[in-house]
Structure 1
Amino acid sequence: MKEYIIVLAPFAILLILYLSAQNWRTSIKTILVLVVVEGALRKWVLPQSSQFIYFLKDIILIGAYLRYYIFSSTQKTFRIKGNSAAETIASVILLLTAWCLLQVFNPSLGSPIIGIFGIRGYLLYIPLIWMLPNLFRSEEELYRFLRAYLLLVIPVGLLAIAQFFSPPLSPLNTYAQDIKQDIATFGDGNSTSVRVTGTFSYINGYSVYAIISFGLLVPLLAVPQSRWWRWATIAELLLIIGTSFMTGARALFISEILFLIGYFGAQLLTNLKTAVPLIKQFTVPIIAITVATITWFQPAINSLLFRINSNNDVSSRISGSFIEPFEFMKLKGLDSYGLGATHPATSVLHKILNLPLGETIPVYYESEMGRIVLEIGPIGFFLWYLLRLILIYVLWRTFLKLKRPLLRQLALSAFLIHALQFNSQLVFNHTLLVYYWSLAGFIFLLPRLEQMENWKQQQEYFNGPDTYRPHTSYR
């Protein structure tokens, strides 16, 4: 069977590349859906093709790149030249790319094939930034996509609830076939429950999905919607919050609290006049979600609180993640071990392709910051986190400049997510990679949509007062 897969794989890749290159917009949206369902495909539908499915969205993405950057005949309305923020970001990306390409051939890797594989986590998803401004052609289209996309929260959340109340050995609680780990549980010993993963291969994937969904749902509550969609949004938020307790992930729980503090704090600091009515608008949904969470998810709340109280290592792990890279810099000075050196799949590639072994890394690494230093050294570390800090700063500036409510709230959410995920795993978390660079594209997408909407309103105003619509109500 493996021989047939090896023979057919190149043809399958070419077919996927061809199909994904037909319509780059559809391909990007497909990738966003695939992020949510690929874990289910790997765990239950096609476990024998788990590794191929893992790389499927990368193949689709490359096809979309080919269409957009090489074969597209459509006019691209976004240009880097003349945009100071875009020029700054592009300059750092170019420096980072050059350094990463150099590290592909680091002799400590043993083989540049490991380095080529390592490029994926650093560079492959960055071009999404420049595609996002052309992905949606109106504010209404963006809203409708987010509204439909977030409906996926309902089946994913219900599956997570079913996992929580199922035994660890239930088929619902399996991990992807290539992840050889015991099913994680948490609780006080008298009542032990599974840490849920939803449709994702492992807990980290679902935790990322939860904070991203949380960050996108909150802005939807801040804009006018029909009654049906407003209650759908509240139900989706309830599922995200309730199942967040079920993951047993303390970082997720803390991130959601910090997100809300940052969200309402930013509103109060930047525009007190509109902030107070906005906070009042959230009063009923917050009360409804709080009461429902306490009523329906009490076992999960108790399990997470027990885990928080029995493991007081959160602060030490956070501080350690910032200290670790500076300790690792002492190992090789300005040099490093090369791209992909710390990736879990490296040992598999060595075995499958019979590659020469690289230099042994003499330290235990856990945080991503430390692993970045080991892979691309102090110079690469500086460029990587400089880029991430610039994105955070420009997202904040984007939030301050925007006036339209939905676009402004989305910019704030993207800023908060980027800030909260600053020292979390990105290079080594393929779920966050898609969302992170897509949200970075909001820097250019949201101002462009606001410009388009302002132009439309000007045209309506000059065409006649009966056609003028100063505010948008989403239905």
Structure 2
Amino acid sequence: MNEETLQNRQDYNVRLLTIFFLYVTFNGAVRKWLLTDSLTGNLLLGIQIGFPLIFAVLVRTKPYTRFTFSVLAAYSLLLVIMAFNPLGQSILHGVIGYFLHIGVFLPLLIYFNDRDAFPVERMNRLFFLVILFELLLGTLQFMSPSTSPINKYVRDTTDTGGIAMLYTINRVRITGSFSYLGGMGSLFVFFGFWIWGLRLTKASTLLVGFALICCAVISPMTGSRGLSAFLIILTGCAFISTITDLRNSLALGLLSILIVGVLQFTDLSLVSEAYTGLNERVTNHVADSENETRAFGQIWEIIDFRGNYPWLGTGLGGTYQGAIALMGESIYLKEYGYYEEEPERVILEGGYLLFMVRIFLWLLVFQQSRIPVAFCALLLILHVFYTVTVFNVFTAFYTVMAFMYLDRSYYVRQQNEI
């Protein structure tokens, strides 16, 4: 295909991804502040659940290679078969489960089939505006009482019982433009990848520094230990991968020291108060061993799986709260008992077969990416065991955007070095 055709694909795909990004980031705000009826909210969320197939239909790329088509067709067929598992609660559970499980892999494999058609670095201005908006909104939420309309969730609540709090400092855990905590955390994990990509492409030190400040401020205000850990890991990777760029590394290192110093010694600031609340959460959960459970519990659940159907599971969509609210919960899940982390839920729905297929697909994603092998190994562990890319549709979308951006950044950097 000629250069003009590639340019057309690039322009169209950037516009499409911009629409998707804005929709995912702000549909929660619409659902909790504007169109608050449950029917409209479910419709808006349903559209987001369908993102992978909507993307596949609307995106413009060169024809799929035989390999890409074969992988996507085989995985899709497997999911269709699993959706009709006779142990499942309903066909609706299976249909919703199909969309959830095809999740990140359909968009990413389409991207890798024609990465030149996805210049996501053109969206930097949009990312800057969104992170600035979330910083301002999040700070306002943190300053406001839990009963304020600005801290409303999608579900109605009249007291702090429905709002997540940092109780030791009596502050809300902010949600930004999202309908619940998980969406805000997912977005800022993406911004961690964005910082990594900006470093690779030698973006303005001021822009990188501003993004770091936003993450350093917002992370403790969410009260999320997982988000804080992810941002530390991702920014560490960003520095390590660009350590040979001495001038920018020195400038950014000095800026980071300045940021940490200001946050550490400004005792009256909201940020210092937020870090106090986050530190209390971490400390309290050390005492009750929850931190250790969150770190290693899902690994033991995989090794010593307690379900009665470990190989093929009990049907797709069975553990998804939205499907359960609409059509009830399978008796085969009720006998399993409490479940929370994604790996055990994947095995519950599709058995070890689906779990191993997903690991294979992640390996395929990393094999096709331009990300160095050492970082791929780290990201594989994080996304197999600690990232909810199936049952959190916000995380699924931002994971796709994160890998597109990081892979494109390495790709552009390598092209410039030739």
What's the TM-score, normalizing by structure 2? 0.82
8 Å Cα contact 1:96-1:384 kept in structure 2: no
State the Cα RMSD in Å: 3.4
Tell me the alpha carbon deviations over residues 4-33 of structure 1, each in whole angstroms, 9 at most, x when there is no partner: xxxxxxxxxxxxxxxxxx955523321112
Q: Is the 8 A contact 1:215 1:417 kept in 2?
A: no
Distance 1:330 1:224, change over 3 A: closer
- Cross-structure match for 2:235: 260
Conserved? CA contact 2:84–2:94, under 8 Å: yes
Q: In the alignment, is residue 65 of structure 1 matched against residue 38 of structure 2? A: no
Where structure 1 has 5 or more consecutive residues not aligned to the other structure, the ranges are 1-21, 82-86, 269-273, 402-410, 455-469
Residue number among 161, 165, 170 corresponding to 1:185 in the alignment:
165
1: CA distance, partners of 2:349 / 2:217: 37
Specify which of 223, 228, 234 is matched with residue 209 of structure 2. Answer: 234
Structure label with greater radius of gyration: 1
User: Following the alignment from structure 1 to structure 2, what is the Cα–Cα distance between the partners of residues 311 and 186?
Assistant: 13
* Counterpart for residue 55 of structure 1: 46
Q: 1:82-131: per-residue Cα shift (whole Å, max 9, x none)?
A: xxxxx4x7665544333221111111113222101111111155332244
Residue 312 of structure 2 aligns to a residue in which SS?
coil
Counterpart residue number, 1:212: 190
**Are positions 1:29 and 2:18 aligned together?**
yes
Change (3 A) 1:419 1:326: closer
Q: Does the 8 A contact of 1:211 with 1:252 survive in 2?
A: yes
For residue 384 of structure 1, the aligned residue among 348, 358, 374 is 358
What's the counterpart of residue 75 of structure 2?
96
Identity %: 22
Consecutive unaligned residues of structure 2, counting only runs of 5 or more, are 1-10
Supply the distance in 1 between the matched residues of 2:347 and 2:90 (Cα, whole angstroms): 19
* SS at 2:384 equivalent: coil
Query: Among residues 103, 107, 113, which one is paired with 1:128 in the alignment?
Result: 107
Matched, 1:399 2:371: yes
Q: Distance in 1 between matches of 2:12 and 2:326?
A: 33
Matches within 5 A, 1:247-396: 247-267=222-242, 274=244, 276-294=246-264, 295=266, 296=269, 297-312=271-286, 313-328=290-305, 330-350=307-327, 359-362=332-335, 363-392=337-366, 394-395=368-369
Q: Structure 1 residues 94 and 361, CA, compared in 2 at 3 Å: closer, same or farther?
A: farther
Amino acid corresponding to residue 302 of structure 2 in structure 1 = P
The TM-score, its normalising length taken from structure 1, stands at 0.73
Letter in 2 for 1:434: F
By how many angstroms is 1:164 displaced? 1.1
Q: Distance in 2 between matches of 1:135 and 1:42?
A: 34
CA distance in 2, matches of 1:25, 1:257: 29
Deviation per CA, 1:109-166: give whole Å up to 9, x if none: 132221011111111553322443657658xx54331233232011111111111111
Aligned residues: 394
Quick one: distance in 2 between partners of 1:203 and 1:40? 13
Cα 1:201–1:394 change in 2 (3 A) is same
Per-residue deviation, 1:179: 9.7
Secondary structure at 2:166 match in 1: strand
Q: Residue 206 and residue 279 in structure 1: after superposition, are their counterparts in 2 closer, same or farther (change >3 A)?
A: same
> What is the SS of the residue equivalent to 2:95?
helix
Could you list the per-position Cα deviations for residues 431-460 of structure 1 after superposition, in whole angstroms to 9, with x for gaps in the alignment? 111122344446875676568x56xxxxxx
Do the aligned residues in 1 keep the contact of 2:84 with 2:315 (CA within 8 Å)? yes
